Amino acid sequence: MTPQTIDYDALKKRGFLRQKQEGFFVLRTRISSGIYKKEQLEKLAEISEKYGRGFIHATVRQGLEVPFIRFQDIASVENELDGAGIERGTSGPRLRSTTSCPGNNWCKQGLIDTFSLGQRIEKDLGIICGMDLPHKFKITISGCPNTCTRPQGTEIGIHGQVDVASSDKRAGFAVYLGGCGGRTPRNGFKLDKIYSESEVLAIVKKVVAFFKDKAKPKQRLALLIEEIGRDNFLKEISE
């Protein structure tokens, strides 16, 4: 296969991104909530020794990347990843891996179970990293208003917050919509309620479906909201 006949977009979808250095690919992996098992870390270390240059890079979205893999080794690397249950990250017009802090799993400030919410988005809603969409789309979860993972800066941002309006001052979920980074960064706007987990899941489902249906190619959610107006957007997702 020559460089002209390689389907780079298909490789990107499978987690192999073309490097600046000709002939090399970086393997991008991801794992739910950023928790890699010991065996998976050992396998990635082995892959980096065998096919890369013996080092691994941690991405801002909690994936681990192994650079300097040659095209002819990709199939072998994929076999090794499948055997170890390591999922591939992605790039391009697709859903990125959902990022979360530990939340109440071990952080003293944590108000919500961030890992459980991330897993429910994938398992209950089928909204999984690599899903084809008009443009890149990110979901970020933080366990409390300290927002260590900066949920305000992604399309859907969620953080734990005490619902002061509730009689028992229970912890719930605050939601930001329409944030993004890039060259025209935006902070998402915060919805004015504190939600239950099932309500948050319903919002995530509606917003992703709306974006998939209505956004133009290469249009981030922030720009789609600006185009149609925030009130119309909220009506569309019934909020």
The residue among 103, 97, 150 whose CA lies nearest residue 127 is 97
Supply the minimum distance, in Å, between the C-beta of residue 197 and ligand SF4. 16
The smaller minimum CB distance to ligand SF4, of residues 135 and 138, is found at: 138
Question: Which amino acid does the sequence have at 114?
Answer: T
CB atoms within 10 A of CB 213: 9
CA-CA-CA-CA torsion sign (181, 187, 189, 195) = positive
Is residue 171 a contact partner of residue 142, using CB atoms and an 8 Å limit? no
Residue 158 Cβ, how far from ligand SF4 at the closest point, in Å? 11
Q: 95 vs 101, which CB is nearer to ligand SF4?
A: 101
Q: Which of 90, 161 has the CB closer to ligand SF4?
A: 161
Written as one string, the DSSP assignment of 115-128 is: HHHHHHHHHTT---
Give the residue with the Cβ less far from ligand SF4, 74 or 144.
144
Residue nearest to ligand SF4 (CB): 143
Distances (CA, A) of 139 to 71, 82, 114, 186, 237: 31, 25, 12, 14, 17
Minimum distance, C-beta of residue 106 to ligand SF4, in the bound complex (Å): 9
Q: How far is the CB of 238 from ligand SF4 (least distance, A)?
A: 28
Residue ranges that bind ligand SF4, judged by CB under 6 A: 101-103, 107, 109-110, 142-144, 146-148
What's the min distance (Å) between Cβ of 162 and ligand SF4?
12
200 touches 173 (CB < 8 A): yes
Distance CA 46, CA 68 (A): 14
Query: Looking at beta carbons only, is 59 or 219 nearer to ligand SF4?
Result: 59
Measured CA to CA in angstroms, residue 170 lies from 72, 198, 203, 219, 234 at distances of 54, 15, 20, 37, 25
Distance CA 159, CA 31 (A): 20
Least Å from the CB of residue 148 to ligand SF4: 3
Which CB sits closer to ligand SF4, 173 or 211? 173
Cα radius of gyration rounded to whole Å, the chain: 19
